[in-house]
Amino acid sequence: MTGEVTPGEVAPEGDHADGKHASHAARTHVVTHLPGDGVGPEVTDVARACVDAVAARHDFHIDWRSCPLGGRHYLQTGEVLPDATLEELRKSDAILLGAVGTPEVPPGVLERGLLLRLRSELDLYVNLRPSKLRAGVAAAVGKHELSDLDFVIVRENTEGLYAGAGGSVHRGTEFEVATEESLNTWAGVRRCVRYASRLAASRSGRLTLVHKTNVLTHAGDLWFRIAREVAAEDGVELSYAHVDAACLWMVDDPKRFDVIVTDNLFGDIISDLGAALTGGLGYAPSGNLNPDRTGPSIFEPVHGSAPDIAGLGLANPAGAVLSAGLMLSHLGEEAAAADLDAAVSAVLAAGAPASTALWREQLLAELGVAR
């Protein structure tokens, strides 16, 4: 990965462009930065600065690599995810993604060709979505206290209705038929539930399965039997909620939840509800995890590329910084991850800054970096 960099190639940066690791730090992690489109580069630049600050404090080093995938790259080159780029990404310890998408790219091109392909190829079978209400953030429901809203949604990330099974016939006629099939395997469900159960054991010991077993009787039965078995093995308390009831309780009585495990579609929906309850998508981090560590995991804010405010200096980097905290936790740097979480909380408690530059300044000040 030296010499001339071709479009789409993963390239080393800075002092490590020769491929050498830093010698002054006790630990080095290779992280590929995919800034993407819209506000993605703006918010992840702030996240990178914060990561470098806590790395210096805790005596480790990030060997940053870069890669220009996304909507702009697709429009310029016609490439979504070249095989050679994918193979380079596999060499990273983690990937920090900004956001992808531009109005000029048709729907589905990047979603399926880049994001869903990465989840499949890297076996990112857990989507982790924490929802935590922080001081200084207005709750969507006024009666909620900070302690009421602090739960984590574990979403199965490679199966279900997003597996791509289905099709259509007689397209464009009055006889058109379209199908989408939900694929749920014993192995896929079990490994997702196992991750959620162990996460619950490390927190409160409470796990909630969210599904729709009264209607989706085949898939729902598989999920319920596996959840009951795994929870018993791990010694955690299992409860169950239909997805519609879970939406009601997340709004009306969110403290009943701590760790929620659910399938791909339901997780996609209720995780955004969790974000809305805790300040909005701008504060929502996420991790697409390979818990078995056979490949890198991907960490990204969930707010999207927001092209309407790109370049205006108004993007909120909180979600990106919190996602970087999830990344550091995954890499084993728990103390550094806690520092990022505390810095975001402190800045919010003092009043959320109005610009990306002020966010950067105040976050770095909280992390002990002088102006």
Q: What would the DSSP string read from start to end of 253-287?
A: -GGG-SEEEE-HHHHHHHHHHHHHHTT-GGG---E
Question: Which residues does the annotation mark as catalytic?
Answer: 162, 212, 244, 268, 272
CB atoms closer than 10 angstroms to residue 150:
18
Q: What's the CA dihedral at 350, 351, 355, 356 to 10 degrees?
A: 50
Average pLDDT over every residue of 283-289 = 97
Task: Kindly state the helix (H) or strand (E) to which residue 206 belongs, with its residue range.
Answer: strand 206-211
Is residue 289 pLDDT above 60, yes or no?
yes
Determine the Cα–Cα distance for residues 188 and 203; give it in Å rounded to an integer: 23
Please tell me the predicted confidence (pLDDT) of residue 139.
Answer: 84
Average pLDDT over every residue of 196-215 = 98
Please tell me the predicted confidence (pLDDT) of residue 172.
Answer: 96
Residue 148, judged by CB atoms within 10 A of its CB (0-12, 13-18, 19+), counts as: middle
Please tell me the predicted confidence (pLDDT) of residue 21.
Answer: 45
Determine the Cα–Cα distance for residues 259 and 126; give it in Å rounded to an integer: 13
The model's pLDDT over 102-114, given as tens digits with 9 standing for 90+, comes to 999 999 999 999 9
Determine the Cα–Cα distance for residues 231 and 239; give it in Å rounded to an integer: 10
Average pLDDT over every residue of 226-230 = 98
Determine the Cα–Cα distance for residues 66 and 5; give it in Å rounded to an integer: 11
Determine the Cα–Cα distance for residues 203 and 205; give it in Å rounded to an integer: 6
Please tell me the predicted confidence (pLDDT) of residue 23.
Answer: 46
CB atoms closer than 10 angstroms to residue 206:
18
Determine the Cα–Cα distance for residues 196 and 289; give it in Å rounded to an integer: 12
Task: Kindly state the helix (H) or strand (E) to which residue 288 belongs, with its residue range.
Answer: strand 287-289
Please tell me the predicted confidence (pLDDT) of residue 25.
Answer: 61
Q: How confident is the model at residue 344 (pLDDT cuts 50, 70, 90)?
A: very high
Q: Tell me the sheet residues that pair with 178.
A: 168
Kindly give the pairing relationship between strand 297-299 and strand 177-180.
unpaired
Q: Where are the domains of the chain?
A: 1-127+286-371, 139-278
Please tell me the predicted confidence (pLDDT) of residue 156.
Answer: 98
CA-based nearest residue to 235, from 200, 208, 191, 193: 200
The model's pLDDT over 290-313, given as tens digits with 9 standing for 90+, comes to 999 999 999 999 999 999 999 999
Q: How confident is the model at residue 369 (pLDDT cuts 50, 70, 90)?
A: confident
Is residue 370 pLDDT above 90, yes or no?
no
Please tell me the predicted confidence (pLDDT) of residue 11.
Answer: 64
Please tell me the predicted confidence (pLDDT) of residue 22.
Answer: 46
333 close to 60: Cβ distance less than 8 angstroms: yes
Average pLDDT over every residue of 12-38 = 73
Is residue 6 pLDDT above 60, yes or no?
no
Q: How far, CA to CA in Å, does 93 sit from each of 23, 156, 284, 295?
A: 18, 21, 22, 7
Please tell me the predicted confidence (pLDDT) of residue 334.
Answer: 98
Please tell me the predicted confidence (pLDDT) of residue 13.
Answer: 72
Q: Where are the alpha helices (DSSP H) in 30-179?
A: 40-57, 71-77, 83-89, 109-110, 117-121
User: Per the confidence metrics, is the pTM higher than 0.85?
Assistant: yes
Mean pLDDT computed over every residue of the chain: 93
Is residue 4 pLDDT above 50, yes or no?
no
Which residues 6+ apart lie within 8 Å of 110 measured at CB? 70, 71, 74, 80, 100, 101
Q: How far, CA to CA in Å, does 367 sit from each of 50, 88, 123, 338?
A: 8, 32, 34, 11
Q: Where are the alpha helices (DSSP H) in the chain?
A: 40-57, 71-77, 83-89, 109-110, 117-121, 186-202, 217-234, 243-252, 264-277, 318-330, 334-349, 356-366
Which residues 6+ apart lie within 8 Å of 214 measured at CB? 220, 242
Determine the Cα–Cα distance for residues 281 and 157; give it in Å rounded to an integer: 19
Please tell me the predicted confidence (pLDDT) of residue 18.
Answer: 42
Is residue 168 pLDDT above 50, yes or no?
yes
Average pLDDT over every residue of 278-297 = 96
3-state secondary structure of 51: helix
CATH class of 1-127+286-371: alpha beta
What is the b/e burial string over 55-81, where b = at least 16 CB atoms within 10 angstroms of the residue's CB? bbebebbbbbbbbbbbbbbbeeeeebb
CATH class of 139-278: alpha beta
Q: Tell me the sheet residues that pair with 238.
A: 207
The model's pLDDT over 49-68, given as tens digits with 9 standing for 90+, comes to 999 999 999 999 999 999 99
Please tell me the predicted confidence (pLDDT) of residue 138.
Answer: 87
